[in-house]
Chain A
């Protein structure tokens, strides 16, 4: 149960980030040339692999209770950011994330930028793609390493991220357009819920407290966070309509 939950969480969180990275790589490729864009993608992938290769084994050396305390606190702070934005979007206080609009903006900016050649590559296209993939990828690396190390299985979390990467890459190559049909706002909501759930669970255990039923209480915490999120959306929607 916990393993399936771990893989599903890593998959969802990674898929959202990979969809965003794909939009940037596509924008750079279409406007500035595929060679520079794919070189940026490759360089960022190598940098991310190096970060994971160094940090992954280092994290396994930290005692599990200390790791869960730190990871739980980080995930909770990070997860509440996602959840708060998702609740604000769902209740109409924040515009929905629109991959097509972001793609249009990225391509307009890329077309307007001047051309500078370095190492035989269009430098704007390379750095746009590199930065986009590195920043989105760092979020994936953070989630995989924290989820995996706190649950004692980086491999399982990496499996979820790997499936997401393969899926987004295959669809991206086939479609060659931003994946606007992916229900990104719903997925972001789900990721916020899962990050917050794991954050509550691990920070409590890391602080020395024990959940009644141990791991079996994880679905209960999940239900609690889901109920809290829907109640928040309903309250904010009512308030917005009352003041409209």
Chain B
């Protein structure tokens, strides 16, 4: 059980890292793109916009008070 937990923690740290909010932002943006496409809008532009927002917020959190 301890090894399974360690394995899960490794992959979490590997992919998500120290800013889970950034990863959550990416998941929301992908979901939103898929929803807009399903609604008939070819929303190819949404992910670049989302990346600008997610990166800016993540950098702001990291450098705040530094």
- Name A's B-contacting residues (CB within 8 A): 69, 72-74, 76-78, 80-81, 83-84, 87-88, 93, 138-139, 142, 196, 199-200, 203-204, 206-212, 221, 224-225, 228, 232, 236, 239-240
Contact = CB atoms under 8 A, between A and B. Distances in A.
A209 B33 contact: yes
A74 B48 CA distance: 16
A207 B37 CA distance: 8
A73 B30 contact: yes
A77 B44 contact: no
A77 B18 CA distance: 11
A225 B50 CA distance: 12
A148 to B, nearest CB: 18
Nearest to B22: A80
A77 B47 CA distance: 12
11 contacts: A73-B26, A76-B51, A142-B14, A204-B47, A206-B30, A207-B31, A207-B34, A209-B44, A211-B44, A240-B63, A240-B66
A199 B37 CA distance: 18
Given A74-B15, A77-B26, A232 B55 contact: yes
Nearest to A74: B15
Contacts of A240: 63, 66
Interface residues of B, number: 33
Nearest to A225: B51
Given A73-B26, A76-B26, A81-B19, A207 B33 contact: yes
A221 B52 CA distance: 12
Nearest to A205: B44
B35 to A, nearest CB: 9
B54 A80 contact: yes
Contact of A88 (B23, B44, B48, B62): B62
A93 B37 contact: no
A24 to B, nearest CB: 17
Given A209-B43, A210-B44, A203 B55 contact: no
B47 A236 contact: no
A93 B26 contact: no
Contact of A84 (B14, B16, B19, B42): B19
B5 to A, nearest CB: 17
Contacts of A72: 30
Given A73-B27, A77-B22, A204-B33, A224 B56 contact: no
A236 B59 contact: yes
A200 B30 CA distance: 9
Nearest to A70: B30
B30 A69 contact: yes
Which has the most chain B C-beta neighbours within 10 Å: A83, A204, A208, A224? A204
Contact of B30 (A87, A139, A207): A207
